[in-house]
C-alpha cells in the first residue's frame, strides 16, 4: 500500500511539473485546431503499462462547432480513430462529445489554458470499464499546445498522459 501511495504522489507531482509554462496568447480551439495538426504523446499507468503514440488531426470549423478527427498510431503498430465535436457555447466555453466519452464535457478557456474533465469507456463496444480524464491544455509561446491529463478510476490516480500538438507547416 505504501508503494502505491508513493507512486500516486509521484504521478501527481509529475503532472504538476508538466503544467508550468510561460504565458501565451489567448487560446481558442477553432483557431488552433482548424486544418492540420500533428501530435506526439505518451500514456503511463501505475501498473507499469506505457504507450507512446503519434496523432494526425484534421479540424473543420463551421462557425459554431469544431469537428476534430484524431488518427492515432501507437508504438505497437495499432491504429485508432476518434472524433471530437466541440460546440462553442460562449467566448470562453465549449461542450464536447466523442464516441467513447460518456455524455459530454465542458471545456473552459482562460488565457492560454483550456481545462476539461470527461469519462471514457476503455471498452466502448461493451460500454465498460470507465476512467476519468482531467485535461489541461496549455498554449505555449512557441505555438505548441501541451496537453497533460491525470487519469483516475474511482477517484484515485491511475495514469498520466502527455501530448504535444504542433500546427502542420508552422514552427
CA distance 29 to 68: 10
How do residues 103-146 score in pLDDT, each as one tens digit? 999 999 999 999 999 999 888 777 778 999 999 999 999 999 99
A 10 A CB-CB count for 15 gives: 19
CA distances in angstroms from 15 to 12, 43, 135, listed in the order given: 5, 12, 10
How far apart (Å, rounded) are the C-alpha atoms in residues 126 and 78?
20
CB 120 within 8 A of CB 100: yes
Q: For position 171, what pLDDT does the model report?
A: 46
Average pLDDT over residues 6-27: 47
pLDDT band at 25 (very low <50, low <70, confident <90, very high): low
**Does position 16 have pLDDT exceeding 90, yes or no?**
no
Look over the chain and give the mean of its residue pLDDT values, rounded to a whole number: 87
6 — pLDDT class (breaks 50, 70, 90): very low
Mean pLDDT, range 150-169, rounded to an integer:
95
Cβ contacts of residue 18 below 8 Å, gap of 6+? 146, 148, 162
**Per-residue pLDDT, 2:** 40
- Low-confidence winner among 83-97, 117-131, 155-169 (lowest mean pLDDT): 117-131
Q: Which three cell numbers stand for residue 118?
A: 470527461
> Can you list the domains of the chain with their CATH numbers?
2-167 (2.40.128.20)
pLDDT at residue 170 tops 70: no
| pLDDT given for residue 138 in this prediction | 98
- Predicted TM-score (pTM) of this structure: 0.83
Amino acid at each position: 500500500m505504501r508503494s502505491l501511495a508513493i507512486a500516486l504522489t509521484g504521478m501527481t507531482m509529475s503532472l504538476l511539473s508538466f503544467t508550468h509554462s510561460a504565458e501565451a496568447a489567448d487560446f481558442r480551439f477553432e483557431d488552433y485546431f482548424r486544418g492540420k495538426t500533428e501530435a506526439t504523446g505518451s500514456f503511463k499507468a501505475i501498473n507499469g503499462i506505457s504507450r507512446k503514440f503519434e496523432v494526425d488531426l484534421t479540424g473543420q470549423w463551421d462557425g459554431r462547432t469544431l469537428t476534430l478527427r484524431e488518427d492515432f498510431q501507437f508504438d505497437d503498430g495499432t491504429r485508432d480513430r476518434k472524433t471530437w465535436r466541440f460546440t462553442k457555447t460562449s467566448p470562453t466555453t465549449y461542450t464536447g462529445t466523442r464516441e467513447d466519452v460518456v455524455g459530454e464535457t465542458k471545456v473552459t478557456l482562460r488565457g492560454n489554458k483550456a481545462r476539461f474533465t470527461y469519462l471514457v469507456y476503455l471498452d466502448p463496444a461493451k460500454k465498460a470499464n470507465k476512467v476519468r480524464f482531467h485535461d489541461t491544455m496549455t498554449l505555449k509561446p512557441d505555438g505548441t499546445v501541451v496537453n497533460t491529463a491525470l487519469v483516475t478510476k474511482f477517484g484515485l490516480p491511475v495514469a498520466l498522459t502527455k501530448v504535444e500538438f504542433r500546427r502542420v507547416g508552422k514552427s
